[in-house]
Every structure is written in C-alpha cells, then in structure tokens.
Structure 1
Amino acid sequence: MLETTRMIKRLVCVSLVALIAACGSAPVAPGFYRVERGDTLSKIARSHRQSVQSIARWNNLNNPDSLEIGQVLRVAPPNGAASTSGAVRSGNSNSNGNPGASASATPRSAPDDSASSSAPASSISLVWPTNGNVIRTFDGANSKGIDISAAAGTPVVAAAGGTVVYAGNGLRGYGNLLILKHNAEYLTAYAHNRVLLVKEGESVAQGQKIAEMGDTDTNRVMLHFELRYQGRSIDPSRALPAR
C-alpha cells in the first residue's frame, strides 16, 4: 500500500511538470528567478546586477553554495529594502510610473520564455478578464502580462473560450492559478485568485466566471493576466478591446 501511494505521488509530480512544460514554462514573479541547471549564486547575481550578499539575505540562504534546480529566488530588493549592489532594475513600475508597485507579486514566465510584442495577437479576440484598474502593463522583460486591481472577490472571467489545463496553487510565486488553452497556439493565465471555480479538463465559454480575484502569493488584491502565443508571452492588450 505504501509503495502504491509513493508511485501515485511520483506520477502526479511527473504529470504536473509535463503540464507546465506544455504551457510554455511555469511563471515566476518579477524580481524573482527560477534556478536552472548549472546556475551558481554568483552567476545569478551578476546577471541580475545584484550582489551575492543581497540575494543571500533576501532569500535567507544559510549556505549560498546550496541551490536546487527549480528553486525560486528573489533577485530584486523587497519593497522598502535596499540592494548593496546599488543596481536599479528597469521595468519595475506601474502604469503611473511608481517604482516597484507590484514587483514581489506578479508572476512572469521562466527565464527561457522569450517575450514578443510582434506575435499575431490579432488572430485571437479576448474580452477583459475582470473589471478594475490596470496597475501594471506588459513590457516584455519584467512584466510578461498585465496586472488589474479591484476589490477582493471581483469576478474573473475567461478571456476566450477554451479548456482548463491547469487549476491549482501548487506552484510557487503566483498563488491560485488557472491556465486556459484556447487552441494549438494560444493560452491565457490568471494568477493570484482568491478561489478557483473551474477544474482541470473543464471546457469554459468566453466571459464565463472562472475565479474570484484575491491576493494569494502577492502583496495586494489583483489579477495577473497573461497571453501566450506558441509558448511566448505577448502583450495581451493588443487582443483586448479598448476601454
């Protein structure tokens, strides 16, 4: 019985990894980095223009030489914290130009996910996934989607019809997450929800309520919304109607 339980757990883990790979790599928050094979703390610090000491301090690393593949590290200063490197990260601003408004909260794609602003987003027509104020826009580097702020519990709807390919909170950095597959080329992702209202494998219609806005794995109530074309994050505003 014990061996059977272990086998089931292994199969579940393998399936989850395969799912995220199929969705174009699991997102992590801006200001964070997912450790890859061959990474060292000094290499990560250099590529993010930070000091080893700062990254070790922000992540409470007792042994900076002990990193695990897939581990998520903060590589930008937390709100109100200073970096000993003095480096300033570009792109960590909201639509009003305020630096770091949601740097610790917004999921983005893994480092090997290339963003593109020239993908044919016009070939898919989206509706706004929720009502609220856009507090962060797509920049293709630190923000691989848009952030929309509103009250907790605000309905989140499917931006287009499709199938739920991920529904859960087992992946660090973006809380209760939904990923919808619309066709062979397009996916949308909805992060930080308070509650998920659909399950994996379920078909949803455009405009159908699928979640409620929340603040899971973030420092404020908001929805982080991404559009992906062939696995690449693209600017969702190009496929959304004007407000």
Structure 2
Amino acid sequence: MSFSKDEIMTVATSRYIADGDTVFIGTGLPMVAAYLAKATHAPNVALMFESGVLDPRPRSIAKAVGDPRLVSTARRVSGMMDSLLMLQGGRVDLGVLGCAQVDRFGNINTTAIGSYERPSTRLPGSGGANDIASCAKHHLIVTRHNRRTFVESVDYLTTPGHLTGPGARQRAGLPGGGPIGVVTDLGVFGFDARTCEMVVESVHPGVSLDDVRAATAFELAVKPDLSETKPPSDSELDILRTRIDPEGVYL
C-alpha cells in the first residue's frame, strides 16, 4: 500500500511513544501519531494537552488542544496551570514539538525570523514549548525538512535543545533530558551521545542521503549503519485513514 509523506512522518513519530508513557502533545501530526500509538503498540499511554486535558480517548480527531471532543472521554480536565505543574514536576516522559527553525543541537526557534526587534516574519512564540523542552524527560521534534528550517544557528532561541553541546543543559540548570530525535518528511534523526549534534539515522523510502544534505544548511553527521526508515504497515495506514483521520484534517 502506498503512503504519503505525512503518513510516514506520523508513523515514525508514533514509534517514539512507549506504552505507559505520559506524553505532552499538541495538534497536528503529533496528535495523530499519539492516537496511532494508543491504537497499536502503546494502549496505556496517557496523552496530555496544554489546556489541562489528561488521557482522553476521543472518538474523532480534535482540531485544537482545547477542542471539547477531548473533554468528554478524558480522565481529568483541569487547566493550563495544572498541566504545566505536572510537566515541571517531572511527570512527563515525552513531549512532541514542531518548529520554524532548528539547528544541529536541536535548539528551536518559533519566535521570529530575522532580528527580534525588526523580524521579516513574526512567529507565534513559545506557548508551552519551552516548558516542555526544559522539563520533560525527553522531547521529540517533528517538522518539514528544508534549508529554511534546518539552519546553522537559529535566529532566536525560543526552546532549548542541547544548547551549545555536551553539558550545556546541565550548566543552564535544565532538569529535562533534551531532544532525543527529529522526524521529518525526509528521514529520522538522533543526537550523538558524545557531541550532542544531530545524526542521520534513517532516510525514508525514495529519499537519498544527498537529498537530506541538500535540504540542510549545516553539515550532518551520519550513523555508520544508516538504514531506510521502516515504512508504515497496511494495518497502520488503515487505522490512520479509516479511524483516526478519515477526513484528512491533518494527513
């Protein structure tokens, strides 16, 4: 069964979600990936939203973190303060974030393109992203892959990755473990344990390493045993298309 770039990004993201985890997510592909994980290999994952909704089992795809369809089946509904206190209390295993820019250390910009004072583009800002990246045990970045996004240095540091390299998060007093991976429409990336720099771990079917390098504005390290990303199974695609997002809201 053929699949789209959105579908392989979603499936690759879902594979980072372990059964029993508490996962802090937002709308878009991360939400679809979390629903997929819960429907397949991680039935006991607790999904958590910035709006204060904890562990919902929605019957259809939500269109925002405060969508009422998340509320009716949730284990708990409180508010943003409670969700961020749980995050800052170390109770979140994984956060999933998007970005406008990301650099080799996984630092994220969602604030401004160009100078902060006179940007060419003003972006939405942090929201809960800084809290997630600072305090969750780990976080994952999900984004489209091009040279405008994968930059040598972010124009504004909205959300910390590994900052300037080994030991930098600890020196900054950040309790969370930092980014563990990046999923794009071209491949899956990790971070080297020694240098904290981004590493190509797999390329999606039909994508070459040269394609990845051409879409990246910094030099990428490559895992010695570089592989092809495991494609979505027919079962995963069927669940995505018929149960999770049949109207194609996000896919």
TM norm structure 1: 0.29
Higher helix share: 2
